[in-house]
């Protein structure tokens, strides 16, 4: 009698465990769950790629500055070269004898019809 009860209880426990496991797997395979999982993995991958790209860009910038300093030292170029004095141009004065926009224009060929060009 004890042996039968033990095996019955063991079978029931195994059945409950297997049913729970199958239901969890079925919930993981629903389209919504698959889409959420794919989105999460894409976000993780994007964040990893961004971190790597930023690290690479910083390395390139540091190495570029180092190489530029080496080349400047080898060529004898100073970091702060003296710039020539700024040039000053004289402004052209406007001739005020003729108005820029006359108030009244006679015999104009300009048409105010906006549909004419189309």
The mean per-residue pLDDT over the stretch 36-53 comes to 93
pLDDT of res. 79: 65
Query: Torsion angle, CA of 36/40/45/46, rounded to 10 degrees?
Result: 100
- Give Cα 31 to chain centroid, integer Å: 29
Residue showing tokens 């989105």: 39
pLDDT surpassing 80 at residue 22? yes
Q: What is the pLDDT of residues 46-95, one digit of tens each?
A: 999 999 999 999 999 999 999 998 998 888 886 666 777 777 665 565 55
> What's the pTM value of the predicted model, to 2 decimals?
0.40
pLDDT of res. 76: 82
Instruction: Give the separation between CA 60 and CA 66, rounded to whole angstroms.
Output: 10
């Amino acid at each position: 009698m004890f042996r039968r009860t033990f095996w019955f209880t063991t079978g029931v426990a195994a059945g409950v465990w297997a049913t729970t496991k199958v239901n969890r797997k079925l919930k993981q395979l629903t389209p919504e769950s698959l889409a959420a999982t794919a989105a999460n993995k894409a976000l993780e991958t994007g964040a990893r790629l961004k971190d790597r790209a930023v690290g690479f860009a910083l390395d390139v910038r540091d190495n570029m500055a180092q190489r530029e300093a080496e080349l400047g030292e080898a060529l004898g170029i100073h970091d702060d070269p003296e710039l020539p004095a700024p040039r000053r141009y004289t402004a052209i004065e406007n001739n005020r004898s003729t108005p820029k926009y006359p108030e009244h224009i006679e015999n104009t060929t300009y048409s105010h019809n906006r549909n004419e060009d189309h």
